[in-house]
């Protein structure tokens, strides 16, 4: 809904610019709206990253490392990286998952057992 309001506002400003192209207030308002939208988008993305990182930790605590689909730590970390490509916590989280998986595999093999898929 907010994006619709912003789009409508920008359309109205475009019409105002067509009517009076010398009005510098129109361009100032357009810039302010676009900057405010950018800040709002960044804040939403940051909140989503925080939510995903918290979810990943809960998923690890619940032994949901790689499954079930859509509710596992690996996916949460990958979703963080989709939003924030250089997220160090997400990269470290994926390395932690790999280390946990390797540890489980080594333990299983040391006990003479077969590897079983870890959730």
Per the CB < 8 A criterion, the answer to whether 77 and 98 are in contact is no
Q: Which residues of 12-29 are buried (b: 16+ CB within 10 A; e: fewer)?
A: ebeeebeeeeeeeebeeb
Give residue 89's domain range.
2-110
Number of domains in the chain: 1
pLDDT tens by residue, the chain, 119 residues:
567 888 888 888 889 889 888 888 888 998 998 998 999 999 999 999 999 999 999 999 999 999 999 999 999 999 999 999 999 999 999 999 999 999 988 888 888 766 555 55
Q: In the structure encoding, which two tokens stand for residue 77, read together?
A: 């970390």
Asked, for residue 89, whether it belongs to a domain, the answer is yes
Rounded CA gap, 119 and 69, in Å? 10
Asked, for residue 17, whether it belongs to a domain, the answer is yes
């Amino acid at each position: 809904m907010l994006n619709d309001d912003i789009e409508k506002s920008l359309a109205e400003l475009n019409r105002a610019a067509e009517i009076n192209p010398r009005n510098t207030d129109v361009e100032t308002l357009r810039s302010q709206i676009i900057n405010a939208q950018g800040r709002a988008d960044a804040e939403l993305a940051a909140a989503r990253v925080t939510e995903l990182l918290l979810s990943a930790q809960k998923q690890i605590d619940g032994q949901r490392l790689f499954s079930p689909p859509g509710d596992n730590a690996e996916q949460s970390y990958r979703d963080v990286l989709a939003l924030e490509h250089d997220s160090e916590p997400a990269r470290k989280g994926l390395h932690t998952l790999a280390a946990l998986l390797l540890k489980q595999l080594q333990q299983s093999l040391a006990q003479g057992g077969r590897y079983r898929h870890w959730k």
